């Protein structure tokens, strides 16, 4: 799932959190996921050559965890090397600490994304890949 079907990351994470005591709604959600998989067999990641200059495109966000039992927020980010290209890096996970506000949850998410951005920039530099990159997130 994490390497090929990014569209399933969130729902499978939620399902796996209830494996010890699944409920009827968890079973219904699992059936829905199986029907979704059956209907999207032909979808896949495609890697193509890009005619335009490479540009590191990124997005990050968080989901405030006030509604969850453990109150931990979800951090998420993704990176692409072209506007319409496939993802080269992504993450969706619970934050290690409980954020006291939505602003703090967003800050924690942004800090994780900036760490990954610095790694990807250095990786591109080490591989002699020239990217058109701007500093904004």
Instruction: Check whether residue 61 and residue 119 sit in a common domain.
Output: yes
5-37 burial, b if ≥16 CB within 10 A, otherwise e? eeebbeebeebeeeeeeeeeeeeebeeeeeeee
Express each pLDDT in 64-100 by its tens digit. Answer: 765 567 788 888 898 988 877 778 888 888 888 888 8
CA 67 to chain centre: 20
Distance CA 88, CA 64 (A): 26
Give pTM, 2 decimals: 0.67
Q: How many domains does the chain have?
A: 2
Instruction: Check whether residue 32 and residue 70 sit in a common domain.
Output: no
Q: Is residue 136 part of a domain?
A: no
Express each pLDDT in 17-46 by its tens digit. Answer: 888 888 899 899 999 989 988 888 887 666
Instruction: Check whether residue 62 and residue 23 sit in a common domain.
Output: no
- Residue numbers of the domain that contains 19: 6-39
Looking at the DSSP bridge assignments, the partners of residue 94 are 74
């Amino acid at each position: 799932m994490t390497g090929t079907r990014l569209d399933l990351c969130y729902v499978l994470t939620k399902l796996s959190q209830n494996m010890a005591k699944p409920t009827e709604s968890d079973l219904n959600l699992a059936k829905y996921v199986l029907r979704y998989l059956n209907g999207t067999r032909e979808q896949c990641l495609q890697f193509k050559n890009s005619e335009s200059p490479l540009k590191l495109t990124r997005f990050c966000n968080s989901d405030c965890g006030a509604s969850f039992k453990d109150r931990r927020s979800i951090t998420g980010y993704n990176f692409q090397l072209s506007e319409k290209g496939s993802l080269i890096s992504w993450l969706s996970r619970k934050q290690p600490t409980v954020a006291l506000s939505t602003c703090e949850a967003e800050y924690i998410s942004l800090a994780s994304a900036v760490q990954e951005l610095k790694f990807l920039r250095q990786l591109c530099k080490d591989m002699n890949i020239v990217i058109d990159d701007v500093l904004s997130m």
